[in-house]
Structure formats: C-alpha cells, structure tokens
Chain A
C-alpha cells in the first residue's frame, strides 16, 4: 500500500480533498458520512499512533523529543502496511463494499522541516511515496483561518506571517495531536516545494474548485490509485461543498475545532471570497508578507496592478 501525504497549510482544502477521495469508496448515491471517513485518511500528527507504536507516553516527552522520534514512527508505519490494510478492509466491509484502496492518503499540516538532529521530521522517502501539496490563495486562507481559530482576520493574518506558527504548541496541557510546526504561510509552502526527498504534485485549491474531476484525476494518477472514471464523477457529486455543508448543519462535524461553537467548518468553499471579506489594508498586508510566494504560485497581486501613487 502506497502512502501519499496531503500536505497543506490549514484551511486550504485538505479536508475537502479527503472527502473527495473518501467518496471514491461510496456505494450507490449515498455520500460517505463526514463523521465516518475511511481510517486511512487520518492525520500524520495523531498522538495515539505515536504512543501505541513507541510504547512511550508522548505526554511525558518534550516537543523536541517527540519530533526526534516521529521519523522512527512514520517509517515504521510505512514499513508495516498490514495494520492499515486490516483497518481499510474492516471499513470496506462496514460500508458494504469490497477491496481496499491501493493508496493511503494522510493529511499533514506540518511544514517539511528537519528535526534538531537534521533528519526530515516526516522521514523523507522512508515515510511516504510522495506528497500532494495543496495551496490556496492566502487572501482566502486568512478569513477562513480566522473563522477556524475564532479570531479576527487581522490576528489570522499575523499568525500566517509568524515564522514559528504551530498547532498544539501550548506547554501547560496536552492535545489530542502532537505539536505541528507550520511556520509562516510562505515558509510552509516553500518547505514542501523546495524539499527534494519526495516527489510532489502541486495542486491549487482554485484548480480543484474549477475542475474538480480533472484535479482529482491528477491526484489519483500521481498516487497510482486506479479507479473507474464513473467513481471519480460520483465522488465529485457526493462530496460537493453544499453536501458537506448540509451534513455539517444536520449533525455537526467531528473534526471541527470546537464542534459546539456554531462556527461552520465548511464555510464558503469559494475562490476569491477575499474581495468582499478583506479590507484593502488587509490585502496589502498579506501581499507584503507573502507576495513572493504568491507570484511563484501564480496568484495575481492587487499591489502589482495598482498604479504607484506619489507620496
């Protein structure tokens, strides 16, 4: 079984892509339950697998000590696919289908960093076969990130510029996930694009939105995941944004940061929403922070199009 990271900064369409992939396993016209995804779609930073495979209580280790061991855990998991296959088979049986997917897609929000010992945190080629690097216009990430973190947009913009941005990094409590260093938005994307350990497929959220079936086909082809074209088209139908939103409205989404807060995880799911959500000052700030990477990814900057005013 192959392993492919779905690597992205938060709020870049990672969960939507996982839902699309999950719905390849749907039977008939019944969408996969957003709260019952196939087990191989989990996240690389889960605490439980770390504790279970190392037999060490991660809650007794410092973040750096955990990071030192994460490559060992990820390469062990990669080298022992029998556990995932067993879980995938059990899920298929439960869903009334047969067969197991040939590829395990694993969400990851960690930037591609090295441990203090100089090893790739995600174990390089010993941890996965490749990575789909999913990026989204940071001007659309910012309002979504603010909603996710229940902060204002300015705070989200500041967080995206923080070169030490991390999830689950407070030291006075324990989270269900291990600390994930994401770095700034630009550094995050660069870390994945510029590493040379793993082959990558760069996918822009905007392309996924514009031609979902085509983008999904590219992802599957990159991952050596053979499936029938009709399954791809059905998955696109069953995981359309309105369906995900409706499921969340009806029963909640277990992966939402605070399921009871009333904030929708599946919020807008559009490209260019920033035009009516950000002030011009916020746009200018994001472009100043991330302009170089935005241009590299082909996002047009407002600041480039504007005539230069005299002071």
Chain B
C-alpha cells in the first residue's frame, strides 16, 4: 500500500500516485482508501446525474471513458475500475485533482478551485476556472520564494473562533510545456502527467504538511474589457457568492446540499482574510509586474513587512 498525505488527509492507495509527496510517517488507518476493484456501471436510485456521473446517497460514480470508473463512497473510499482498453498510467492524474476534489465535496469540506502559496507562514489562494492560470501563478511565485501549498484543490477548514486554515495539497504542480518553458522551470520538470499530453509534473522545492492560516484569496481574472489590470478588494457582501462560484465544483455545492456550509464559511473567511480580484493579461511577459503588485498588496495588508 502506498501512503500519502493530501489536503490534510492520510491516504492509503493500491495505486501508486506519482504526483504526490509520499507521507513521511505511516499511520495504521487512513482517512481515505483508494482500491482497485469492481464498480457498477450505474447507480440505482440516483438522485442527480450528469453526462458522466451519478449521485445516490453517499455514493458518487464518475466514468471517464478510456480511463476508468471511480466510485466514491462516504467521502473516505475510492474504488477504481480501470477501462480494459485504457493505459493504467493515465489513471493517477485523474485521481489527484478531479476525483479527490469531488471526494472533498462529499466530505462536506470547503474546497475551492484554487492554487495556493505560502507567504510569511500563511496561505494565499488563487481561485479561477480551468485555464485561468492558477498553476502558472503558483509556479511563478514559488520561483520567487513563495512555496507552493496547492496546485488545483484548495481545501479550507473552518473552526469557530479561529482563523480558517488551508491544507497543503501535497502534490506536484502540473504545468503545460509552454509554461515550463516561459517560466524557466525545466530543471524541476518530471514525467508527463499522461503519455499523450504535453503537461508535466513539476516537483516543489519545499515540501511541508502542516496547515496554514488563510491570509488572502485572489480571484484570477483575465484583463479583458471591461476589466482593467489591477488588484481590487471585494466587498464582504459579495464574498459568499464569489466563494460558491469558485468552489472546486460549483455545481456539486448545490447537488450535495453544501450551500449553507459555503455561506457560513464565507462569513468566517471574510472576517479573517481579505478577498480580492486579481486582473491581469494572460501573458507570461506580464508576470514580473503581477508578482510586484502582489508583493505590494501583501505589504499593504500587513502580510509582508514593508520593504526597507
């Protein structure tokens, strides 16, 4: 059995997951178990479904054609049935983001579609839809001395009266060839995430497992009219909607009855962390200026000491 620590959870897996940092200590039990096995092709009594998935009570079935079927149960068990004509090395990358993100929703966890970096011992999140540049932002900041906390799945824990905390995702970044090239990250480039994709694992320099207090959340936005480049603070009143829209899978927030959880989380988050939009051109050439504006912003909110 392979052991990992993902988003604050201990994971025991039949399947080796190459993009994850291996757990340093073995625990007798696991929060999440990943096993190879048989899964149904459909769930009877499904209460919600989509083109590739079904929900029935505490079961979620996801079918990725040519890859595998995944049955998620009670938020702690994942059964994987590889497609007979698929390539088994394609499976792990789908477990890491897609399947684990859904599992966290199933656990009732607040989970944002976000990358994150560590700034002065605290976590800063970058939310955005697929292709909005989350991984690229985290990779560029890591190269600038702010280690990666998460690549794609931003898991947040809320405790009454305390600052919300962010759990390190515990995995490697996954970056497209163009981003690796333009950010000069070839030295850390690992294997392709799938043989047929020009997307690669990039190992972090700094591995850590402790969760971090949440300092700020940035919603990434491309600078397209009418939005101009810059960092804008969001009003607290907009926070609840913004967080729900930036859930890992917004659709599942409703389908899994999490709307109230997100509403509560939003009020806890806006009480202790700042919520911004970060609007910038989707252009690698703009990255140094974006990083400079973020550092300025971190000084302004007291996260970084003022430059001498």
Residues on A lying within 8 angstroms of B by beta carbon are: 35, 47-48, 51-60, 62, 65, 68-69, 72-73, 75-76, 170-176, 251-254, 259-260
Contact = CB atoms under 8 A, between A and B. Distances in A.
Contacts of B62: 55-56
A75 B49 CA distance: 13
A21 B281 CA distance: 30
12 contacts: A35-B225, A47-B130, A48-B130, A56-B62, A56-B64, A59-B130, A60-B98, A75-B51, A76-B50, A172-B176, A172-B198, A174-B130
Contacts of A251: 225-226
Given A60-B199, A174-B176, 19 more contacts: A48-B130, A51-B129, A52-B251, A54-B50, A55-B251, A55-B252, A56-B98, A57-B98, A57-B130, A59-B199, A60-B97, A72-B51, A75-B51, A76-B51, A170-B178, A171-B197, A172-B176, A251-B225, A254-B224
A242 B109 CA distance: 51
Contacts of A69: 51-52, 65
B40 interface: no
Interface of B: 50-53, 62, 64-66, 93-94, 97-98, 102, 129-131, 176-179, 193-194, 196-199, 223-226, 249-252, 281
A72 B52 contact: yes
Contact of A54 (B53, B66, B129): B53
Nearest to A51: B130
Given A172-B198, A252-B226, A55 B53 contact: yes
A75 B97 CA distance: 26
Contacts of B250: 52
Contacts of B249: 52, 55
Contacts of B197: 60, 62, 171
> Which applies to chain B's interface (DSSP): helix, strand, loop or mixed?
loop
A260 B227 CA distance: 12
B152 to A, nearest CB: 8
B193 A62 contact: no
B126 to A, nearest CB: 16
Contacts of B194: 60
Contact of B65 (A35, A52, A65, A254): A65
B52 A55 contact: yes
Contacts of A53: 50-51, 251
A62 B196 contact: yes
A127 B251 CA distance: 21
A142 B251 CA distance: 41
A207 B62 CA distance: 48
A177 B129 CA distance: 12
Contacts of B223: 259-260
A173 B50 contact: no
Contacts of A173: 176-179
A171 B198 CA distance: 6
Given A56-B98, A62-B196, A254-B225, A48 B129 contact: yes
Nearest to B64: A56
A200 to B, nearest CB: 26
A173 B102 CA distance: 25
Given A252-B226, A260-B223, A174 B131 contact: yes
Contacts of B224: 252, 254, 259
Nearest to B181: A172
Contacts of A65: 65-66
A172 B97 contact: no
A178 to B, nearest CB: 10
A174 B62 CA distance: 23
A60 B225 contact: no
A254 B53 contact: no
A47 B224 CA distance: 17
Contacts of B130: 47-48, 51, 57-59, 174
Contacts of A253: 225
B131 A175 contact: yes
Contacts of B93: 60
Contacts of B65: 65, 68-69
Contacts of B51: 53-54, 69, 72-73, 75-76
